[in-house]
Structure 1
Amino acid sequence: MAVFRRLSSTHLASLLGIAFVSMMTMAVFWVMDKYATFRSESDAMRQAYVAESRADIRAEVIRAVEYIQYSISTAESRLRKDIRTRTLEAVAIAEAICQEHHPHADPEEPGRLVREVLRQIRFNNGRGYYFATRLDGVEMLFADRPELEGKNLLHMQDDAGRMVIQDMIRLAREQGQGFYEYTWTKPGAQGSSHRKIAYIHYVPCLDWFIGTGEYLDDVHADIQEEALHRLASLRFDPGGYLFGSTTTGLPLFTNGQITRGGPAILDLQDPHGAFIIRDQIAAAANPEGGFTEYSWRKLTGQTPSPKVSYVRGVPEWGWIIGAGCYVDDVEYAIANKQQALLDTMRRGLLHVGLLLLAVLGLAALMARHLARGVRQHFEVFGAHFGQAAQVRLPLRESALVYAEFRTLAREVNAMMAREAQAEQALRESEDAFRRLFEGSSDAILLMKDNRFVECNQAALTMLGDVSRQAFLDSTLTDISPEQQPDGRRSAEAAAEHVAAASSKGSHRFDWLCRRADGSLFMVDVSLVPITLHGDSMLHVTWRDVTARILEHDQLEQAVADRTRELQDANARLLALDQLKSSFLSTASHELRTPLTSILGFAKLLRRDAARLGDTLAASQSQACGLANRMVDNAAIIISEGLRLTRLINDLLDLNRIESGRMEWHDRLVDVASLAREVLDFMRGQLDAHPGVALSAAIDDDVPSLWVDPDRIKQVILNLLTNAFKFAPQGLVELQLRSDGEGGVVLQVQDSGPGVPPEEQERIFEKYHQGQTAITDAKPQGAGLGLAICRQIVEHYGGRIWVESAPGRGAAFIVALPSQPAQ
């Protein structure tokens, strides 16, 4: 059995006798020892510096987090103390007003003064306000929602089903004062489940409880703002500072600057691709916090340096607080030590190099002999690989001497066998892909440099059975009309779609194509960039959607037809409304003409009957009685004619206001004098209402307004006439005062049965005749007086509303703001 020589054995035998091995080993060990000592000392310096720095930044972060947690723990007690103090201040104001009130004056006056004083008070950056509720559940003051004042809120519940007002009344009755917690709506925030704490205090002189509340969310927001400013200003050691962000990757503060509200930093990376904020969020998820490492620029340079940061979370706020230090500050001392080591190593290696030259000379002679044998083996391999390009033949191992080359030959033969198997599998895979490619009902194509280089049969069929040779190497614009349905040129649109697919990774759109016979069809196109055989291409898929587009167009046409029908109907309704207004104007004028004649002749009849009665009174008593009846009947005709005239005038006024044809004769008007004129006129009408007591309270400081005096007089007259109707046996009072801002407030109060809550808005609608709170009977009238009042008041930018409780009468209030001179 032949013994073959091993290449490794030959090489080892040639080098055993050479001292080169020993010397190189000694040199390597010497260098390694020096370098190991240097590494050990350097690592010790780094570890000491990093450990000290880590301890420092951890201590600073823990102190900051403890400060925040202490602030959070005191938030609720801080809230309770604040709202209790605010409530006691309001109670003191209310009690002082009650003490100054004269016992014989208006009993409602203290409540009104308390309500007006507390309504103006705001605190806590304008979000704090007072509320007051009578113990029967009627809201007396709701500064944030004045529309609820005067309404009974006993039924009001929060999201948990608590009867808020009933619970507060019970607390006021049983304890006189105390805290109450519930959930409520919050201005500027969604939902109604915001936790709120209120403090109420019972005021016996008013039979009210007064209170205020605060949302715990708002207190936390204030504390957060304080914490941001304090932590941002903290400094430690030379250049040390705190930074903060949220667990969702939003900035809070850094390096003395508050960055809250800035862009998200969740995906912030260092130059090595580390996600800085994501790593900090993961470390802060540990209750004890944690350290993170990354690279970042120093404040005094532009080159990124390694940095260690310690972060800790504040779960209650979703905050992360941290501080960091640069670990390469110690590298300056280490670099000096490294330079000294390099100088020593250079001198030692110089001596080793001289001896190495001699050793290399001897080794070269030995290697030359070995190389000759190796070259011969490589020539055998080269000749085999040259033949393998045409014919796959196994490599002959018998031609090789060294065992290593024989092993290599066996591996080459095995590799050639596996390659043949892989080629066979590839051919089978290509056949399967081609069958799938050609069998698809959708068109599949490949584009390179904006030209089609491959397609399946479905694409050729869609294009009108064109030949593959004629189609390939064409562009998308070659098989498209000049313009697409959106008006863009096909060439420009195609370039934009290709660019979109390249930038986004995929792109889908509708495209109008042209068949070989010139007919058009719509396809749904999908573009996906791919790499095939090292070339960048686009994988294109088409699907014919012409039928779907046609259905969509038919639906749009149906919608357009229906829209035109609705527009025509709306035009007809507008014409009918205009016809109604014209009819009202014409009918009113037609009614007024005979009414004028009726009233004229009725007055003549009454005058002649009165003269006849005076003439016959002395001699003929029967004729005198007849004359008196004629006088009474004529008076009835006149009264009813005047009432009908007022109705017609109201109809005309309302029609003019609504149609914009009312003429407004504005001038500077003394509203107080105008009110007194109306009062004098109404007192002259008291003979027809013997059970009504009319009084007035007109302040001396009522300002003048730039308004139409006839229209304002009409408002006052309508409100007083309305009060006479509903209080035929009682008190009617007119109040006029300044609103403190150049405007006036007019109030007509009656002692009638009141207006039900469900009617308090509807009574201002035209033609609506309101019902009283006691009976369902409807009063006389056409339901126009209050509607005209609202139109006039709103013309001047004012408001009119009613405040009423069942059985306690009604107060109609008009607020007119200051008007600029025209």
Structure 2
Amino acid sequence: MNKNLGSGQKLVRVLQLGFLAPTIIAILIVGYAWVSHQYDMFNEKALDLKTHLHSLYMERVKEEVENSLEYVDYAKSQTKDRLKAYIKDRTYEAIASADYIFRQNADKPREEKAKKIIDSLKPFRFKGGRGYYFAVDSQGIARLLPAMEDLEGEYIGDLTTQEGTKIVWRIIEEVSREGEGYFEYSASKPGFAGSNHKKISFIKYYPPLDWYIGAGEYLDDVENEIKEEVLSRLDTVHFGQDGYVFAATHDGLMLLGPDKGRSFLEDKSHWGYAAANKMTSTAKEGGGFVEYSIPDPATGADIKKISYVKEVSDWGWYIGAGINRPDIERELAAKTMALQKAVNRNVLIIILVLFLACMVILTISYVLGKGLEKSFLEFEGFFREAAHQDVLIDLQRIHFQDFANLAASANEMITKKRLAENEARIAKLYLQDLINSMPSIIIGVEKEGRVHSWNSKAEQVACVPSSEALGQMLDEVFPNFAQYMGHLKSAIQDRRIRNEEKVAMIIDGRVHFWDLTIYPLMSGDMEGAVVKMDDVTERVRWEEMMIQTEKMVSLGGLAAGMAHEINNPLAVLMQNSEVIIHRMTGDNPASEKAARECGTTMDGIRAFMENRGVVRMLKALREAGGRISGIVSNMLDFAGNQDSGFFPQNIARLLDKTIELASSDYNLHRRFDFKSISIIKEYDPALPGVPCDPSRIQQVVFSLLQNAAQALNDLEDPSIIPSITIKTSLQGSLARIELCDNGPGMDEETRKRVFEPFFTTKTVGKGTGLGLSVAYFLITEFHAGRMQVQSEPGQGTCFIIDLPLELHN
């Protein structure tokens, strides 16, 4: 700008000296060359446009066909997978239905339950009535065969496939080994007598009835469904103004397109006969472009058309797409006309620019002076500096009143802008500090889900700084929120607050629970929302812990009630066995008299009883009753009053009672038997009585014994004899209990988190993750003691409990 004004200043003097005329002539020469260049460029572009447009249409048509063939290949590749997934789902539904009926009729005879299951499954049909369920037992007897009801109840083990395989016994053999499986074979198909068709079946073994239940489907039926889906999908493909995709068989039958259902090869006189022949042969040879003529529906005149066709292997089809040459020519004419208008517009602009240039030169030469030049320079400097910092124009250096008024307005604008920016900065910092100080995640989003506000808690949880999050999609910077993007959009669209409680998200490898609230922006025309998330993990965990505790209290009461109920008949059993032994073995005149009345003697009865081992059996019965009584007594002690108070306890006796109780714990689901584990006791005889709540200490030790037994069950080395060592010792003013196993041990991460509530390494349904956390609470909080764990992978695990010998409030 400075150079232009400077040259303008010089130009005035040059023009005054007589150089104005040569300058204008030079401008006209440049203008002529410029206009000529524009027309040369137009001719080149018109030629390039014709070539490019023709190639573009050809490539577009080819691309549409190739895309359609890719979709066809993909659909074909899904035939078997879709069929397998479908029949597997149906079989699982049949198994579930059979199992439900079996359990609902548990008290009925087996054959009655089997009949109910057959009556329930027999009417079921799927796949348009083609599919049905079948069942055969392990002896090869058909239990359910809707397609051949005359064979139901008959032996079908000799049925063979086209290849000669006894299919029934092959199914029984393979499913017995794996529990379930797929089977491919050839079979006759209803309505197609004399021919075999490929079929796939899925069969699953149902143990309660010793049946093999399954479902099957023919591959060609599924392939026909996929063909219909392909045609429906391709029927929706359109491009350009009137472009579409068509499909036909090699026999000339149109499957897709305006002439769908017509066979062009049946009528040699029809215009489509030659075109169909040409497209069929081209498709069979690998595909290519075909040029032919079709009649115009409106005028009947021939229209040149170019189509690209390619064969669909295995189906006997070809797929194509085409374009009318008149359409290309019309678009070429339109684009050429637009190009011509653009050139004419450019030429007009050039002429106007040249004219204005001349006028500017004349104006600058006769109007502008030094005062005008200085004023422009002053404004130029002001705007250059104002782009980087707040500056004001010195009004004393402006020589013209109009420029002075403009400068005053500019100064006022800068002053107001400075105040507004300062106020906005203070308000923004205050609002940001307010949001960052909140313990909740606060995220502001725009209508399409882009982040425009991101507080410190969001940075901490998502591990994404605010500078990187702003302007990004929320589900990209906070992937855990991706599943709730629909809630966000719904809240913005409906302008309604959305709440979700106890939303589970994995943060840093741990499950956290959140209360999620989405507040849509409801003022003005601005659309967006504020997302607020509160971490309620601890609350949820304590709620679940309380529920678990209430369940355990209920189970303890139930166990105590059952133990009392067992004691009554057990006492009768033990008392009567004792009476029988006494009457049979002792000197009892009443027994002698009863024996004589029966024609025998007590010596003979005793000899018989000894010879047949009856006395030995009765004594064994009495001893077994004593053991049962001891187990029941331990159960009553363990499930007794949980608030029995703190009294000095013999720790060794307490541990023995707990071990005895644990030895009767056998869990078939968890697959461990406590009796198979070697228990090594190393008690300190000098250990004094320890003040504690015995039932709670038993609860802790019982939980540790269960965990140790389950860990020992995971041993992979059969040479290692599973064992648990329990030690007691005196450690100053503390009584120490050590419970160690020689199991697989723990890694460092598991060892650090083993006392966390709800942390478990067991599979779903085998552990709540509360056992060790409750044990830790009972020792550290309830008994003011200490509890720690020592473990290394492959080195076993040792839990150490320290209990104070003196009580303090």
What band does the TM-score fall into relative to the shorter chain?
Answer: 0.3 to 0.5
Q: From the CA coordinates, give the structure whose radius of gyration is larger.
A: 1
Structure-2-length-normalised TM-score: 0.34
